[in-house]
Amino acid sequence: MKDSLPTPFERTFFLTYTQPTVLDSVYTIGLGNNDLKTRSDSNGNRVKFWEAQAAKLYWFEKWHTALDWNPPFARWFVGGKTNASYNALDVTVQKTPNKKAIIWEGEDGKKRELTYQELLSEVSKLANALKSLGVQKGDRVTVYLPMIPELIVALLACARIGVIHTVIFSGFSAKSIKDRVEDSKSKIIITSDGGLRRGNIIKLKDVVDEAIQDLDFVENVIVLEHTKNPITLTKRDKKWHELVGTISSSCDAEILDSTHPLYILYTSGTTGKPKGVLHGTGGYLTHVYSTFQWIFDIKDSDVYFCTADIGWVTGHSYVVYGPLMHGATQIMYEGALDFPTPGRIWEMISRYKVTILYTTPTALRMFMKFGDDLPNSNDLSSLRLLGTVGEPINPQVWKWYFGIIGKGRCPIVDTWWQTETGGALISPVPGLETIPLKPGSATRPVPGVSLSVVDEHGKQVEPDSKGYLVVTNPWPGMLLTLWGDDEKYKTVYWSKYKNMYYPGDYAIQDKDGYIWMLGRADDVLKVAGHRLGTAELESAFVSNKAVAEAAVCGIPHDVKGEAIISFVVLKDGVIPTSQLKEELVNHIKKTIGPIAAPDQLHFVKKLPKTRSGKIMRRLLKAMAKNEQIGDISTLEDEASVNEIKTAFAELKQSLGKF
């Protein structure tokens, strides 16, 4: 499969944004150790390289086999004994017990702080409470809490006693909870009376009650009082504060095998049963510990702020385990980042002197929509490093992030990874080396990871050609399997190419080895024999000064195969007109080529997003094909779906049919 990019697109992504003036201004300041030896070592014996990284963790007993590779199953540091909670808490408590671990702020303005010693005490008390309820090593506990410190406490309490935690994002519906609890057979659920979102109380306990009414194997529900809204207690409910009220604040960490499962995290599919991604302990911790250090060049004085919810893998790896294993101080926030004012996030960065910000391109596009005055009116001078995660970042958004938020002095670490990979696989690594940044590219694989872009037959494609991203060697953070379904694990990730992990993403690797993610392979549109990635099209739209956000999808077309339908959110103050619509269509033609011109362009006020800020593109696809849109419990605002439904209805009427 050789499918070279059209010249206009190549110019947009590669040439325009790699001029020396841009590159020189990015990586001449704010860099780390430039430890090129680490990078060169990782290109040799990768197993020995990862052994050296694992040695930086605390082990009760050292492993006897670094990697047991029985494709496609990998077991790392076999024979080693460790504990995730011990590495996240005790190691720092022994050095600096009074260092701040969490600075929490609620949407309503409430604030709390926890030191590492205080966090360890709370974790130990809950761990003892779980044991008092009969929970044993290997049991599963479901956690359904808002973004409050007790969410971190719950995860580390489970890890401390060898219990497998499975977090469910606090926006999921009762049915979603039931599916996940039933699959994991969790005997305990930890929740709260409610959580805050845009000034409203999300009644979490009520949702849990509905979800588990027919699940007799759930023995207890631990309920935290947070919002103080009225709830109904049943015979299996236990109040958090009563359970831990008189219990010991000391709990020894369970000595666990490196391969002992740490957590299950379910990926929400569009149809069918969600996949339970199972991660281990020693390998996962090694990968997360290493990448957190390399990518964020973490220092003792840093104040780190990752805006991800712990219900997603970014929250597991780079809110809970990564920062705490490094003894970092971090900001934790409950609520919407633009509520009650659009400038809330910039106010918090100024208030707490945040040095590292890690957020999503979708959130950045939202902030761009509000204009430059809000960030410019706050003191952001404490920032030294910026990061993005969740999806490819549009070059135009990258430049705004770099120029307006970072003031031209903060390197940007654009990271690519998945729930299944455990931690970042592609990213700049300021903690190790200096490389030029190209807006829109996550740069190269992190040390110890080998990636390639291949065609349908698994053969590496030529530089600057589209292909499928694959991982060609096992890595410590990789999932152990899918919970209870080894065969599906093999089929989903390892059947397309022999002994190569297939993440399902479409990519390009340029002549410098930089990787450009083009979105999910199943999000590629086939227009008149040409393959166009949705990320390519959306980036082209956002590069226009009038556009804040864009999303595209395809509908069947008798002649072209697929017709491109686009939805565009304009920046504040920009008026939607037929003239602007024509201008944007011409912009796409010039930027990518005439083949990419959308058949329909709709101006909308909002795109359908999850409460964590990601665009729900599957909803667009489902509506485009007139299919059921499925579970929308994580949708931030149903009005966005109604607006797009109206647009599709008008389109259907004009076309007569799809």
Q: Per residue in 184-215, pLDDT tens?
A: 999 999 999 999 988 999 999 999 999 999 99
Roughly how many angstroms between the first and final C-alpha of the chain, as a whole number? 30
Q: Is-contact 314 343, C-beta < 8 A? A: no
Tell whether the model's pLDDT for residue 8 goes beyond 80.
no
Q: For 39-46, what is the mean pLDDT?
A: 72
Arithmetic mean of pLDDT, 235-247: 96
User: Per the structure block, which two tokens stand in for 518?
Assistant: 């083009």
- From CA 195, how far away is CA 193, in angstroms rounded? 7
pLDDT score of 655 more than 60: no
Of 194-208, 294-308, 624-638, the least confident: 624-638
Is 120 within 8 Å of 96 (Cβ atoms)?
no
| CA 303 – CA 306 distance, rounded (Å) | 10
- Does the pLDDT value for residue 128 go beyond 50? yes
* Confidence bin at 532 (pLDDT 50/70/90): confident
Q: Report which of 199, 202, 253, 245 is spatially closest to residue 222, judged by C-alpha positions.
A: 245
**Average pLDDT, stretch 234-252?**
96
Determine the pLDDT at residue 615. 73
Give the mean model confidence (pLDDT) for residues 537-557: 87
Per-residue pLDDT, 10:
30
Q: List the beta bridge partners of residue 186.
A: none
Q: What is the average per-residue pLDDT within 491-496? A: 95
Residue 331, SS3?
strand
- Higher pLDDT: 338 or 18? It is 338
Range from 337-341, 419-423, 471-475 carrying the lowest mean pLDDT: 337-341
Residues pairing with 596 in the sheet: none
Mean pLDDT in residue range 206-229: 96
User: Residue 656 has what pLDDT?
Assistant: 45
pLDDT band at 583 (very low <50, low <70, confident <90, very high): very high
Percentage, residues of the chain above pLDDT 90? 69
**Does CATH place domain 528-655 in 3.50.50.60?**
no
Count CA atoms closer than 13 A to 621's CA, side-chain side.
Answer: 13
Tell me, yes or no, if the two domains 80-97+116-282 and 528-655 fold the same way. Answer: no
- CA dist., res. 11 & res. 160, Å (int): 52
- In order of 265, 287, 398, 636, the CA distances from 57 in angstroms are 23, 11, 34, 39
- Lowest mean per-residue pLDDT among 72-81, 240-249, 447-456, 636-645: 636-645
Torsion angle of C-alpha atoms 612, 617, 619, 621, degrees rounded to 10: -170
- The answer to whether 124 and 250 are in contact (CB under 8 A) is yes
Find all residues with CB under 8 Å of 402, minimum gap 6, and list them.
26, 386, 408, 410, 412, 439
Assigned CATH class of 80-97+116-282: alpha beta
1 pLDDT more than 90: no
Q: Given a cut of 90, is residue 33 above it in pLDDT?
A: no
For 265-282, what is the mean pLDDT? Answer: 80
**What are the residues whose beta carbons fall under 8 Å from the beta carbon of 498, sequence distance 6 or more?**
458
> CB neighbours (10 Å) of residue 228?
9
Average pLDDT of the residues of the chain: 87
Say how far residue 537 (Cα) sits from the centre of its chain: 22
Query: What is residue 331's predicted lDDT score, i.e. its pLDDT?
Result: 98
Q: Where are the domains of the chain?
A: 80-97+116-282, 528-655
- Give the three-state DSSP class for 59: coil
Range of 4-13, 172-181, 406-415 with top mean pLDDT: 406-415
* Residue that wins the pLDDT comparison between 230 and 14: 230
At 381-393, the pLDDT tens digits run: 999 999 999 888 8
3-state secondary structure 437-492: CCCCCCCCECCCCCEEEECCCCCECCCCEEEEEEECCCCCCCCCEECCCHHHHHHH
Q: What's the pLDDT at 628?
A: 66
The amino acid present at 507, given as its one-letter code, is A
Q: Quick check: 155 and 85 in contact, CB under 8 A?
A: no
pLDDT score recorded for residue 648:
63
CA distance 602 to 654: 14
Cα–Cα distance for residue pair 493/502, rounded to 1 Å: 5
**Is the pLDDT reported for residue 38 higher than 80?**
no
Neighbour count for residue 437 (Cβ, 10 Å):
23
Mean of pLDDT values over 335-350:
94
Least confident window among 20-34, 62-76, 187-201, 465-479: 20-34
Q: Is the pLDDT of residue 634 over 70?
A: no
Structure confidence at residue 72 (pLDDT): 97
**CB–CB of 243/132 below 8 Å?**
yes
